[in-house]
Homo-oligomer: A and B are copies of this chain.
Amino acid sequence: MKNILRNSIYSTFLVVLLAPVAGAQKVDGFYAAPSNLFQAEYPRISSDNRVMVRILAPDASKVQVQGGDGFCPDLLDMVKDTGGYWNLTLTNVVPGFHYYWFMVDGVRVNDPGCDTYFGYSRPTGGIEIPSAGENYYLAKDVPHGEVRENWYYSDLTGKWRCIYVYTPPGYEKEIKNKYPVLYLLHGMGENQTSWSKQGRLNFIMDNMIAEGKATPMIVVMEWGVAVDKAAPVQAPGAQGAPGADRNSFVNGNAALEQVFIKELIPHIDSYYRVKPGRDNRAIAGLSLGGYQTLTIGLNHIDLFSSFGFFSAAIIGNIMSDPATAFNGVFADATSFNKKVKVFWFGAGTTGSLEPRIHDMATNTIKKLNDLGIKTTFYESKGTAHEWLTWRRDLYQFAPLLFK
């Protein structure tokens, strides 16, 4: 009896111990991606930006792979080998961080060799393709800040909300110092975890602060989705659970704007050692977060002094006539240029989506410049609508703030 018990317990644990690692096969020139789960050999990448993906699915009839801009936006068929693995080598993958997944007999499956990242409104696999010579987003031997999970109650939505807050190196020890704040928004279908996990925000900030490039600052990352508690919206399972709201984007983020202004900023100002006032407050965001930066930021230039638009989704009529947009905020260029310290746009150049986003930025900038509004534009060469573009944006944008 004793042996049976012990064996059962052992087997429970040993099933993990003895589970086959995803294969020890060595392939010339390919190595496990740096983002792989511990001991996972696949996906594998090469120095010439090829990626080998595979999944064990001996009983499946059809397996495909698909991923984000610059990886493989179209579904590609994979090929089954005699061992029951389905394989494909992707070529010309753009360096950076890419979401991707398999379709196994029509069902979306994350690669078991990858961690998941909140994207596409659900946990989604992802891969890091290193960009040669680019290391400002890696952990280095410098003082490190923290990323804090912090909760606040939102009466407007009737729910507790989870935010991620970067506090810089020094914040913990230099208890008399106060800090300026950057509010930083992610893209559609992502959440408050994305800027640190996909974006490596904390390492980028730590490295810039250590080099003296950026002023030590607090960075606040929000869920970015809000539904007024009075709105007739069915939202089962929304008790603080992350996800994307299919309504808030359509209705212009009105609820989110109210949450930011009336609840989030007061919470940050009271919880942390914050320098007060608009001179010490900036807002920026990527893609949908760029759209939100326009609507939240430009409706409240009394609250924010600097603005960053990273591959911003400047869609609809929102900037079709800047002269009258946002209650005429751009009408008096001299006043605007005096009041706003940084008005910054960034975009990548490649992929199937990003070039059009790039055009949105340059078209908007032209309209603004025609009105006399001063802008800054940064072009991230050779990157797509993905996180390497936005890491570079942060690396260019953050040093300009709070000077």
Partner of A150, one of B39, B146, B272: B146
Q: Is A33 an interface residue (CB 8 A)?
A: yes
The yes or no answer to A339 lying at the interface (CB within 8 A) is no
A188 touches B13 (CB 8 A): yes
Query: Are the CB atoms of A315 and B112 closer together than 8 Å?
Result: no
Task: Provide the A168-192 mask, 1 if CB < 8 A to any CB of B, else 0.
Answer: 0000100100000000000011000
Q: Is the CB of B237 within 8 A of A33?
A: yes
Knowing A37-B237, A237-B40 are in contact, say whether A16-B106 is a contact too (CB < 8 A).
Answer: no
Query: A9-B356, A272-B172 are known contacts. Are A35 and B241 too (CB-CB below 8 A)?
Result: yes
* Residues of A135-152 contacting chain B, CB below 8 A: 139, 141, 144, 146-152
> Is A240 in the interface zone, CB < 8 Å from B?
yes
Q: Flag whether A116 is at the interface (Cβ < 8 A).
A: yes
- State whether the Cβ of A82 lies closer than 8 Å to any Cβ in chain B: no
Residues of B within 8 A of A5 (CB): 356, 359
A149 to B55, CA, bound (A): 32
Q: Which of B34, B175, B188 contacts A239 (CB 8 A)?
A: B34
Over the window 230-259 of chain A, the binary record of Cβ atoms lying under 8 Å from chain B Cβ atoms (1 yes, 0 no) is 000011111111111110011000000000
Cβ 8 A contact of A57, one of B16, B24, B107, B359: B107
The B-contacting residues of A in range 117-133, CB under 8 angstroms, are 120-123
- Across the interface, which residues of B come within 8 angstroms of A19, CB to CB? 121, 246
A139 to B139, CA, bound (A): 33
Shortest Cβ distance from residue A222 to the other chain B in the assembled complex, whole angstroms: 14
How many angstroms between the C-alpha atoms of A152 and B153 in the bound complex? 32
Judge whether A313 is part of the interface by a CB distance below 8 angstroms.
Answer: yes
A160 interfacial by beta-carbon distance below 8 Å: yes
Q: Which segment, of A58-66, A324-332, A367-375, faces chain B?
A: A58-66
A288 at the interface (CB under 8 A from B): yes
A3 within 8 A of B: no
A261-B144 Cα distance, complex, nearest whole Å: 21
Known: A32-B237, A139-B240. A37 touches B110 (CB 8 A): no
Q: Which residues of B contact A246 (CB under 8 A)?
A: 16-19, 21, 39
Q: A41-76 CB contact bits vs B (8 Å, 1 = yes)?
A: 100000000000001111111100000000000000
B39 touches A238 (CB 8 A): yes
- Chain B CB within 8 A of A36 CB: yes
Q: Which of B38, B40, B235, B315 contacts A245 (CB 8 A)?
A: B38
Residue from B41, B120, B172 within 8 A of A16 (CB atoms): B120
Give the residue name and chain of the B residue nearest to A5 (CB).
B356
Establish whether residues B313 and A37, one from each chain, have CB atoms under 8 Å apart when the complex forms. Answer: no
Q: Are B149 and A38 in contact (CB under 8 A)?
A: no
Nearest chain B CB to A175 CB, angstrom units? 5
21 contacts between A and B (CB under 8 A): A9-B313, A9-B360, A10-B315, A12-B353, A16-B121, A16-B244, A19-B246, A21-B246, A36-B236, A37-B121, A38-B121, A38-B225, A39-B246, A40-B243, A58-B106, A109-B109, A113-B237, A115-B241, A147-B148, A149-B149, A149-B202
